[in-house]
A and B are shown apart, each in its own frame.
Chain A
Amino acid sequence: MAELDISFRYDSGEEVFSSFSLSMEKGEHVLILSPPGSGKSTLARILTGSAPKYRRGSLSGSFIVDGVDVLGLDIPERMRLIGRVSQDTDEMMLFSSVHEELSFPLENMGLGRAEREERIDGVLSLFGLERYRDVSTSELSGGEKRRLMLAVLFAIDPGIYILDESFDELSPAWRKRLASLVKGLDRTVIALGSHELAEYAEAFGRTVTIKEGRAAGYVGEPLPASSFPVRMNDRSLEAEALIIERDHRSSGDLPSFMLSVLSFSIRGGECVTLLGENGTGKSSFSRVLSGLLKERSGRVLFDGKEVSWRERRHRVAYLMQNPYEELFLPTVGDELRSTKASEEEVSEVCRLFSFDPDEYVQEMSYGRAKLLQAALFYLLDRPFAIFDELDSALSSDDFVAVVSAYLGKGVGLLVITHDLRVSEMLPGRKLSIREGVLCECQ
């Protein structure tokens, strides 16, 4: 039995929880679904101890597990009781190889070499990462990093698992696999999510939400009505005979990653959805289109004219998977003004995306950071934009609003998603990457 009753306020004055109470049976699987910025990640940090120790604030209350108040324990003492997979995987990555990332917590648990290796082999196989054992973590894709962080948690195997948006960034096949793993787990599991996913139903017996800092019953959220504005125009972005290659420089066993794009085109105002397994090259393709990565061969054309990789940066907005890779300035206002937009435009975008210009980026939730990323590129007014899993960590309403805002401006959108519901909801063509080739979905 676990009894949680907490109140928490950040030092900035923002009250996140006010008598947030939740009781869980031992082995129960609870899903907390609430919009970005409602305190889900803060809750995860409080339970594992990194807040208020490293995210300053005042905490009161208790979290009683088997008669012990977990909040009274130091962080390392909690490791066997409770563990989390952070929403921002990069935030939790410490070491330079997959093996080292997995081995570190097991060494801290005092496990001998044989047991460590047994557990490591077990979780690598569980999450399909065997071939990445000695690979540098920086060479993994977003979904593979997520699987690695899940593997770390499963290797530690604490009494309570916290999965902070852990289904996001996983391909549909891996979401199903994770749901079935969670279902078979005899541990208490708290999953945190911003929007409904079909896979949740299988693994979680109870769903709650966070309302004004308290736990409340969850009422199902239908997908918003999807009538997107259509403002097609004559602009075009095309790719011909592209070959994209990336080395796994840290491992001798893995062949280079290779993606072939025979032909790709998108028109201004059109929406195209791109699906594919984790690590198939969706982000690499996006980087090539937006001029952040050089292709090995082939060409990219804008309005029928070939453009150099540097020139693409002015044509294509790329909203990266991890918003913190694109947000570096202290406040929302600083970020938006860095686009050289006028004060009027900044105010308008703040109103449209519900931001306060003085809001600190560092204090934002991951989902809000994604929304800011969308606001930033909206101001830049590029004719084409790539949303790399923007739907993860955003509420369905927010995601639909962002897509509508971009399409309403006549921007050509390439949307990368793993959510089949989102793919079905979006207008336009569907593409996928299969066996290293980008092709039209049948």
Chain B
Amino acid sequence: MNVSSYVYGMSFYHRFDVRPKLFFSLVFIVEAFIVDSAVGLLLLFFLPMALMIASVGIREWWVSFRRLLPLLVMLVLFIPLQARDGMPILSVGGVTVVTEEGLSLVLRIISRLGGISMALMLLLLTERNEEIISGLRAFHLPYPAALASSMILRFIPYLGELFTEIRDSMSLRLEEGRRGYPMLPSITALVVAAIRMIPDTAASLEERGYGSAERIGYERRKRPNGYFIQWAIGAIIALILFLVR
């Protein structure tokens, strides 16, 4: 699973210590379920987006964000059709297609899903895997749980990468004149490849000594300059989100 989302940089957010980053990412995710006001929902979506763009640039933001797009498009297409009680906005032949309530519901979901996803992407784009493990260990998470968490966080980008690989490979098999790639075989192939990866990863971990009684304990992290200011900035953002909820 040798995929890294990390993008080298010296941005303001890159320089944040991993501990406040992890803590406030978690707080942000919890707040995403509390916030319900229009201002709060806008902040929820655009704050991590702005931070991503400021940290890694528009291109890298777009590369990460476009993986979410199919899901967001499906939400836009289907949720309004499912929630048609309320004030009609769009009717076709006397049948209500979109209501104010349906539209509001889909915007809420997109804001929460997009905001949470981008907050996690921001973490992975600006922190190396070993730093994330070390940060989780600083919160007294046992090593196996910290390792598993970091692998889970990387698993979705990994599947995204793997799917691109499969799609490319499938596109090399297409007949003349055909474009794109066969969707169903590609998804089947993705599932097969992901399942095949499990024993290989487990074997590789053990062969490198995972589970050994000799493993080193937690090595304390140093506090960087501005460490408490970083916590304060995170706390202010969390407080603002809470106040405008």
- Residues 142 to 180 of chain B near chain A (Cβ within 8 Å): 154, 161, 165-166, 168-177, 179
Q: 16 A-B pairs, CB-CB below 8 angstroms? A: A75-B211, A79-B208, A92-B200, A92-B207, A96-B2, A104-B209, A108-B214, A112-B216, A113-B219, A156-B208, A249-B7, A250-B7, A292-B168, A313-B171, A326-B172, A329-B189
With a CB–CB cut-off of 8 A, which chain A residues contact B172?
290, 292, 313, 317-318, 326, 380
A287 — nearest CB in chain B belongs to which residue? B168
Give Cα distance in the complex from A54 to B3, angstroms.
23
Contact mask B178-199 → A, CB, 8 Å, 1/0? 0100100100111011001001
Q: Chain B: residues with CB nearer than 8 A to chain A?
A: 1-10, 60, 128-130, 154, 161, 165-166, 168-177, 179, 182, 185, 188-190, 192-193, 196, 199-212, 214-216, 219
- Flag if B208 contacts A105 (CB, 8 Å): yes
A-B contacts besides A112-B216, A328-B189, A338-B173, 13 pairs, CB < 8 Å: A48-B207, A75-B211, A76-B211, A96-B4, A100-B128, A108-B215, A109-B212, A138-B2, A152-B208, A156-B208, A290-B172, A313-B172, A328-B190
A56 — nearest CB in chain B belongs to which residue? B199
- Flag if B2 contacts A49 (CB, 8 Å): no
- Flag if A96 contacts B3 (CB, 8 Å): yes
With a CB–CB cut-off of 8 A, which chain B residues contact A326?
169, 172
B171 — nearest CB in chain A belongs to which residue? A313
- Flag if B193 contacts A328 (CB, 8 Å): yes
A107 in the interface (beta carbon within 8 A): yes
- Distance in angstroms from B26 CB to nearest chain A CB is 21
With a CB–CB cut-off of 8 A, which chain B residues contact A310?
171, 179
Q: Chain A: residues with CB nearer than 8 A to chain B?
A: 45, 48-50, 53-55, 74-79, 83-84, 86, 90-97, 99-100, 103-105, 107-113, 134, 136-138, 152, 156, 248-252, 290, 292, 310, 313-314, 317-318, 320, 325-326, 328-330, 338-340, 362, 376, 380
- Flag if B130 contacts A95 (CB, 8 Å): yes
- Flag if A90 contacts B2 (CB, 8 Å): yes
Given contacts A99-B130, A112-B216, A329-B185, contact A50 B207 (CB under 8 A): yes
B211 — nearest CB in chain A belongs to which residue? A76
Give Cα distance in the complex from A77 to B214, angstroms.
10
- Flag if B204 contacts A94 (CB, 8 Å): yes
Given contacts A136-B4, A249-B8, contact A325 B175 (CB under 8 A): no
Given contacts A250-B6, A325-B165, A326-B169, contact A49 B206 (CB under 8 A): yes
- Flag if A109 contacts B209 (CB, 8 Å): yes
- Flag if A54 contacts B2 (CB, 8 Å): no
With a CB–CB cut-off of 8 A, which chain A residues contact B161?
138
With a CB–CB cut-off of 8 A, which chain B residues contact A111?
216
Most buried by B among A105, A317, A328: A328
With a CB–CB cut-off of 8 A, which chain A residues contact B182?
338
Among B169, B179, B205, the residue within 8 A (CB) of A94 is B205
- Flag if B8 contacts A96 (CB, 8 Å): no
User: How many pairs of residues, A versus B, come closer than 8 Å at their CB atoms?
Assistant: 164
- Distance in angstroms from A334 CB to nearest chain B CB is 9
- Flag if B192 contacts A55 (CB, 8 Å): no
- Flag if A97 contacts B1 (CB, 8 Å): no
* 7 closest Cβ pairs, A-B complex: A108-B209, A328-B189, A96-B4, A50-B203, A110-B214, A136-B4, A93-B2
Give Cα distance in the complex from A290 to B209, angstroms.
40
- Distance in angstroms from A408 CB to nearest chain B CB is 22
Among A83, A93, A108, the residue within 8 A (CB) of B210 is A108
With a CB–CB cut-off of 8 A, which chain A residues contact B210?
76, 104, 108
- Flag if A96 contacts B129 (CB, 8 Å): yes
With a CB–CB cut-off of 8 A, which chain B residues contact A105?
208-209
With a CB–CB cut-off of 8 A, which chain A residues contact B9?
252
With a CB–CB cut-off of 8 A, which chain A residues contact B4?
96-97, 136-138, 250
Most buried by A among B128, B176, B182: B128
Give Cα distance in the complex from A75 to B219, angstroms.
25
With a CB–CB cut-off of 8 A, which chain B residues contact A83?
207
Given contacts A95-B130, A250-B7, contact A107 B216 (CB under 8 A): yes
Among B129, B168, B214, the residue within 8 A (CB) of A100 is B129
Given contacts A96-B154, A252-B8, contact A79 B193 (CB under 8 A): no
- Flag if A136 contacts B200 (CB, 8 Å): no
Give Cα distance in the complex from A96 to B161, angstroms.
13
- Distance in angstroms from A230 CB to nearest chain B CB is 26
Given contacts A137-B4, A251-B8, contact A54 B203 (CB under 8 A): yes
- Distance in angstroms from A388 CB to nearest chain B CB is 13
Among B3, B168, B170, B204, the residue within 8 A (CB) of A91 is B204
With a CB–CB cut-off of 8 A, which chain B residues contact A50?
199, 203-204, 206-207
Give Cα distance in the complex from A317 to B169, angstroms.
10
Given contacts A91-B204, A136-B4, A328-B169, contact A108 B212 (CB under 8 A): yes
- Distance in angstroms from A369 CB to nearest chain B CB is 12
- Flag if B129 contacts A95 (CB, 8 Å): yes
- Flag if B199 contacts A55 (CB, 8 Å): yes
- Flag if A94 contacts B2 (CB, 8 Å): yes
With a CB–CB cut-off of 8 A, which chain B residues contact A325?
165, 169
With a CB–CB cut-off of 8 A, which chain B residues contact A96?
2-6, 128-129, 154
- Flag if A94 contacts B203 (CB, 8 Å): no
- Flag if B130 contacts A53 (CB, 8 Å): no
B208 — nearest CB in chain A belongs to which residue? A105
With a CB–CB cut-off of 8 A, which chain A residues contact B176?
314
- Distance in angstroms from A153 CB to nearest chain B CB is 10
A107 — nearest CB in chain B belongs to which residue? B216
With a CB–CB cut-off of 8 A, which chain A residues contact B208?
79, 94, 104-105, 108, 152, 156
Give Cα distance in the complex from A147 to B211, angstroms.
26
- Distance in angstroms from A346 CB to nearest chain B CB is 14
- Flag if B201 contacts A94 (CB, 8 Å): yes
Give Cα distance in the complex from A104 to B175, angstroms.
45
Give Cα distance in the complex from A3 to B212, angstroms.
26
- Flag if B8 contacts A95 (CB, 8 Å): no
With a CB–CB cut-off of 8 A, which chain B residues contact A104?
208-210
